[in-house]
A and B are shown apart, each in its own frame.
Chain A
Amino acid sequence: MKNSIILVSTLAALLSLGGCTQQVASPNPDGATMVASDTVTLDSAGASGSTAGGNGSYGSGSTAGGNGKNSVHFAYDSNKLSQKEKHKISRDASTLKRKSVIKVEGNSDEFGTDEYNYALGLRRAKAVKDTMVAKGVPAKKIKVVSYGESNPVCQDGTKNCYQENRRADYK
């Protein structure tokens, strides 16, 4: 993990005391009112959330989760797995049982707004976890996380494309 402050203003926090953040209470020597003292930039590069599937650029029509992952898909605004998708997870259960850690990532399409999409992604990941557990995969091995709409495999703006993004990936 690398976090470094690459720029810190010499004026810094001492100059940010007014009624509003950027207005400074005291004038400078020329009698001018100082406005908008400088702020920092935090570099989180290398501290990426890009675990499985993240490649730093948006997808363009690919339907695979990528990086050896398996994916199951959901209907619009739903976290219910179809029989077909449950069967897919059942088929993988024996392989999953041999793994020490299984990561399930829930995703959504771009519709809906911010928090709701992350909650929907989580509910989808949870549905996959529950199905795995029902097939004998130990619950303690399964890590669940939602990436909401941040991890699309497709951005073509078509119905099929949006469907590809309503998914949970597991590995």
Chain B
Amino acid sequence: MKTLLLLLLPFLLLAAPDARLKISKDVDQRVSIAVINAGDPTVVSKKLHGIFVSDLKISGHFVPDKTYYSGSYDNTIPPAMRAKAYILKYDFGKSTSGAVLMVRLLKAANSKVVLEKKYAIPAVAKFPFIAHKATTDLNDALGYRSIAWINRYVVFARYTGRKQSEILLADYTFNYSKTVIRGGLNLFPQWGDPKQQGFYYTSYETGTPTIFHLNIYTGKREHIVSSPGMLICSDVSKNGHKLLLTMAPNFQPDIYEFDVASREAKRLTTFSGIDVNGKYSDNEHAITFVSDRIGRPNIYKKQIGSSAVSQLIFHGRKNNSCDTYGNKIVYSSKEGPAKFNIYLANSAGGSVRPLTSTGSNQFPRFAPDGDTVLYIKRAKGVNAIGYIGLKTNQAMLFPLGNRKIQSIDW
């Protein structure tokens, strides 16, 4: 029975988006599409079908047919599929230098070719990215709002034992993942630049918390700063020149703005309790952060250079993690012993919108476009990564196994 549950789990998770999500978008505004595997039906090429379906669904612009179809790579449209708006045909195969994917997007009504393109990838293991790129291109070819975020790496840390962790890269579906730092205790990875050339992370290898920057392509590792007690890079400015650190040089956790070039840190908060999780807001003129200044964690905002602090959230008893995008704030709120839910709010005021309703939902992070929120769901000992389209109201979950996620960024 346990084995059966484990086998079914990915499907159960994928089929169980949060119940309180209101599906308000008119389904008729999205176009129907079927995906046909026109190459050899290998294990990888069959998996690609599911990834294409996920990509098309999360875009919010398509209603993909989940049925696995195989067929030829010509312009022929099976009669039963004429009622669809589009047909996506693909042919995936290994090459001498990796793998190649050919895609052809056809109008189902008249077999007209809308897009035809070929992609190459150096490592077959990275096959999910080739599907993400192809989906992004066909989405663009049809003039829809960009979904380029699906091409990005997710970087995350997970615990492997006591004082042991590893940092991994993954595609957004986690069909691909690769360990980039293993051994020791390495935590809180945070992308250092919009192009994802490298990330900052906290290392405990010397016994004193230290932030390094790792270039993921060259392997160059740079020491940034060390500080006793605790040290975390919580956010990076858009130009990559400044970092928001939670630092405690006198064993008092406060938020500092750190200049990468000069290595100078400016203290931004001075409360005698806990101030953590600093995120730039208001075009980097302010920070939004978590503080326990009223005896429990909640979300606050402060203009950089000003001493005034304002409470942003007046909902929930323990709001202990947040992310920002413009005026938008997502935060997790503790609502029971192992129950956390994620809410969307606006720093300018207005109502709070629940984004999740069951299980433990934490680590909310905005996509670079600000329209999609990533989070980690934990239910019955199993982790899943979840995505919620704020405009499209599409929600998806992908299973992550049972190792505890420590921190995540994308």
Q: Which residues of A contact B229 (CB under 8 A)?
A: 122, 125-126, 144-146
Residue in B closest to A121 when the chains form the complex, CB atoms: B230
In the assembled complex, B20 has its CB within 8 A of some CB on chain A = no
CB within 8 Å of A: which B110-128 residues = 117-123, 126
In the complex, A31→B216 CA distance in Å?
26
- Are B122's CB and A11's CB within 8 A? yes
A39 to chain B, nearest CB (A): 4
B220-241 to A contact mask, C-beta < 8 Å, 1/0: 0100000011101010000000
The listed residue (B119, B196, B204, B217) touching A35 by CB distance below 8 A is B119
In the assembled complex, B344 has its CB within 8 A of some CB on chain A = no
- Are A145's CB and B203's CB within 8 A? no
In the assembled complex, B21 has its CB within 8 A of some CB on chain A = no
- Are B100's CB and A111's CB within 8 A? no
The listed residue (A33, A53, A118) touching B163 by CB distance below 8 A is A53
In the assembled complex, A163 has its CB within 8 A of some CB on chain B = no
Residue in B closest to A11 when the chains form the complex, CB atoms: B122
In the assembled complex, B42 has its CB within 8 A of some CB on chain A = no
CB within 8 Å of B: which A76-133 residues = 77, 110-116, 118-123, 125-126, 129
CB within 8 Å of A: which B202-223 residues = 203-209, 214-219, 221
Q: Which residues of A contact B215 (CB under 8 A)?
A: 13, 40
B320-334 to A contact mask, C-beta < 8 Å, 1/0: 110000000000101
B377-388 to A contact mask, C-beta < 8 Å, 1/0: 000000000000
- Are B217's CB and A122's CB within 8 A? no
In the complex, A44→B407 CA distance in Å?
18
Q: Which residues of A contact B196 (CB under 8 A)?
A: 20-22
- Are A56's CB and B162's CB within 8 A? yes
- Are B162's CB and A122's CB within 8 A? no
Contact status of A150 and B406, CB under 8 A, knowing A33-B117, A38-B123, A48-B164: yes
Contact status of A37 and B152, CB under 8 A, knowing A44-B181, A49-B163, A49-B207: no
Contact status of A50 and B121, CB under 8 A, knowing A21-B195, A122-B253: no
In the complex, A114→B156 CA distance in Å?
12
- Are A46's CB and B183's CB within 8 A? yes
Contact status of A16 and B185, CB under 8 A, knowing A22-B151, A35-B133, A150-B159: no
In the complex, A144→B196 CA distance in Å?
33
A55 to chain B, nearest CB (A): 6
Q: Which residues of B contact A1 (CB under 8 A)?
A: 205-206
- Are A40's CB and B163's CB within 8 A? no
Q: Which residues of A contact B208 (CB under 8 A)?
A: 145
- Are A115's CB and B246's CB within 8 A? yes
> Interface range on chain A: under 10, 10 to 19, 20 to 34, or 35 or more?
35 or more
Q: Which residues of B contact A35 (CB under 8 A)?
A: 119-121, 126, 129-130, 133
- Are B184's CB and A116's CB within 8 A? no
Residue in A closest to B121 when the chains form the complex, CB atoms: A35
CB within 8 Å of B: which A1-24 residues = 1, 3, 5, 8-9, 11-13, 16-23
Contact status of A13 and B232, CB under 8 A, knowing A30-B118, A32-B119, A113-B321: no
Residue in A closest to B164 when the chains form the complex, CB atoms: A56
The listed residue (A32, A37, A145) touching B228 by CB distance below 8 A is A145
In the assembled complex, B180 has its CB within 8 A of some CB on chain A = yes
In the complex, A116→B183 CA distance in Å?
24
- Are A20's CB and B195's CB within 8 A? yes
A144 to chain B, nearest CB (A): 6
Q: Which residues of B contact A47 (CB under 8 A)?
A: 183-184, 203, 205
In the assembled complex, A147 has its CB within 8 A of some CB on chain B = yes
In the complex, A73→B126 CA distance in Å?
46
In the assembled complex, B277 has its CB within 8 A of some CB on chain A = yes
In the complex, A58→B187 CA distance in Å?
17
Contact status of A45 and B184, CB under 8 A, knowing A115-B232, A123-B274, A126-B251: yes
- Are B185's CB and A150's CB within 8 A? yes
B43 to chain A, nearest CB (A): 19
Cross-chain pairs A/B with CB under 8 angstroms, 30 sampled: A12-B217, A22-B196, A31-B118, A34-B121, A35-B129, A39-B216, A41-B182, A42-B180, A42-B214, A44-B205, A45-B183, A47-B203, A48-B205, A51-B163, A53-B162, A54-B185, A58-B161, A112-B318, A113-B320, A114-B277, A118-B253, A118-B276, A119-B230, A122-B248, A123-B274, A126-B229, A143-B207, A145-B208, A146-B230, A147-B163
Contacts A42-B182, A56-B161 known; list 19 others, CB within 8 Å.
A13-B197, A20-B151, A34-B120, A36-B122, A41-B179, A47-B184, A48-B163, A48-B184, A48-B185, A58-B161, A111-B338, A115-B277, A115-B290, A119-B275, A125-B229, A144-B228, A145-B228, A150-B165, A151-B162
